Amino acid sequence: MEIKITKAPVLKEKPDSSTLGFGKIFTDHMFMMDWNSEKGWYNARIVPFENLSIHPASTVLHYGSEIFEGLKAYRRADGKVQLFRPIENIRRMNNSAERLCLPQIPEDLAMEVLTTFVDLEQDWTPSAEGTSLYLRPFMFGNDESLGVHAVHNATYVIIASPVGSYYKEGINPVKIMIEDEDVRAVRGGTGYAKCGGNYAASNRAGERAAQKGYAQVLWLDGVERKYIEEVGAMNVMFKIGDEIVTPMLSGSILPGITRKSCIEVLKDKGFKVSERLLSVDELGEALQNGTLKEAWGCGTAAVVSPIGELCYKDVKYTINNGEIGETTQMLYDTLTGIQWGKIEDTYGWTKEI
């Protein structure tokens, strides 16, 4: 498909790498493409970054039909820019679309528009240690009608934002609260889809945890509130004895690409990795008898985020003296090494722009 490019008449000044936060500054352009149930995808275009104009009855504003992705472009030491496993984001977006009755994008087309957009905006990829260009593809139902049904019109957009190093002052373990009231997702629901609605429903627990001084919540399953699911916007892993345990993908957990990458690296290095049910009781026992050696969250933003303290029903447990453990550190070094091109990518995960 032809991508029509309209360049911004004036380019913005690039920000200072030391002042970058997360998702506050945006690049000069954005990618957009529309879909109609009769025409399919049409009008692929790159336009100057601007506000969207949508009808007040647009489906997304009333019934929340929205999905998104998150991935990064990394500046390598040789100056080139690369993506990390972008095909995985494209496939996951299509799985999310299927669940939300939004249109899927053929993989080749999705890859072409993503790489064309990143190529155009690549000067925005910062080069300071730990910084990157965060890419946010998203899609929303855009019918101009209040009727409730699968949508006939949708819009796909990609925006980009230079982001700072997640760990400015070194890797600090986070404190996590196990949430036993609200649930994030249920089997049969939208837990495995990356959709805005999942976040809307999880904000209340996040706020409660923040008020008590916790960075994020650890969700339990929505049926029995007994099994560990995931953390905020990260999947979660535990080192219990010599076994690495991570909740299996049951339908209510987001299948993270960082999770998948961690599992592959761990297996490669000879670790025993179990994707299985992990009850909060088993975790509590491991905390009490000292077999819980390490715990970490994993996701694109932080790569891995060591968990230094867990709170369950107002009881606080410290993990690994509140310090980052050796397995967590190894995963961080390996994944960031591949992402920024500092170590050889023997997996074929990176895609040069």
Ligand X SMILES: *Cc1c(COP(=O)(O)O)cnc(C)c1O
Contact residues for ligand X (CB under 6 A)? 70, 194, 230, 233-235, 254, 256-259, 299-300
Nearest in space to 24 (alpha carbons), one of 213, 161, 158, 224:
161
Query: Phi and psi (nearest 5°) for 172?
Result: -100, 125
| 42 or 347: CB nearest ligand X | 347
DSSP characters for 212-227?
TT-SEEEEE-TTTS-B
DSSP type of residue 123: G
Cβ pair 60, 198 in contact under 8 A: no
Q: Which residues pair with 29 in a beta bridge?
A: 48
Structure tokens at 182: 């609200």
Question: Measured between alpha carbons, how far is 331 from 13 in angstroms, rounded to an integer?
Answer: 35
The residue behind tokens 């909740």 is 247
Question: Measured between alpha carbons, how far is 15 from 26 in angstroms, rounded to an integer?
Answer: 10
Burial of 255 (0-12, 13-18, 19+ CB in 10 A): middle
Question: Measured between alpha carbons, how far is 325 from 307 in angstroms, rounded to an integer?
Answer: 10
| 86 or 299: CB nearest ligand X | 299
Q: Shortest gap between Cβ of 251 and ligand X (angstroms)?
A: 13
Q: Shortest gap between Cβ of 191 and ligand X (angstroms)?
A: 8
The residue type found at 56 is P
Question: Measured between alpha carbons, how far is 336 from 307 in angstroms, rounded to an integer?
Answer: 19
Q: Shortest gap between Cβ of 93 and ligand X (angstroms)?
A: 11
Q: How many residues does the chain have?
A: 353
| 44 or 304: CB nearest ligand X | 304
Farthest-apart Cα atoms in the chain, separation: 64
| 58 or 202: CB nearest ligand X | 202
| 143 or 230: CB nearest ligand X | 230
Q: Shortest gap between Cβ of 283 and ligand X (angstroms)?
A: 18
Q: Shortest gap between Cβ of 99 and ligand X (angstroms)?
A: 13
| 297 or 325: CB nearest ligand X | 297
| 151 or 233: CB nearest ligand X | 233
Cβ pair 21, 41 in contact under 8 A: no
Q: Shortest gap between Cβ of 300 and ligand X (angstroms)?
A: 3
| 29 or 206: CB nearest ligand X | 206
Q: Shortest gap between Cβ of 324 and ligand X (angstroms)?
A: 19
Query: Phi and psi (nearest 5°) for 328?
Result: -60, -45
Q: Shortest gap between Cβ of 182 and ligand X (angstroms)?
A: 14
